Structure 1
């Protein structure tokens, strides 16, 4: 009987320690500091090129990336698009933002 009482004297406080912090974290306020940034550019592959559209300053701006070129500058010089031929008919495209 003493063993059971000793077990509960140790186990019950440990159980409360594990459970209580989770109940306290159920609500609260998150303060945000920083900048809200614009969405990334979207790329849409087409037959002979890739259409890259960037929404900047309230306007949608687009460029056509030729399938043969390896590097192009994004609208407003916000970054570049680089393509690498992996095999015939398959290219790898990376969009880097400044």
Structure 2
């Protein structure tokens, strides 16, 4: 699922999802499954659910929340917040 045009709010399901935003301010949320969320440009909010999720910020100011599972959170060059929760999370800032 890839957002185009204006700001994009994308939601996953219980499967393994790839959810990508656009160059606007996006809200991307996964649920079950091992998901990959990519915010691209804009001030994005990415929320992983259950499963081992990978969340990628951009050069803007993003909020990445891993929540349940063993997640990997990769901030960009902006002023990002990388929030872990249950599980063993990898948090990488730039």
TM-score (normalised: structure 2):
0.24
> Normalising by the residue count of structure 1, what TM-score does the alignment of the two structures yield?
0.23
Q: Which structure has the highest strand share of the two?
A: 1
Which protein has the bigger helix share? Answer: 1
Larger radius of gyration, structure 1 or 2? 1
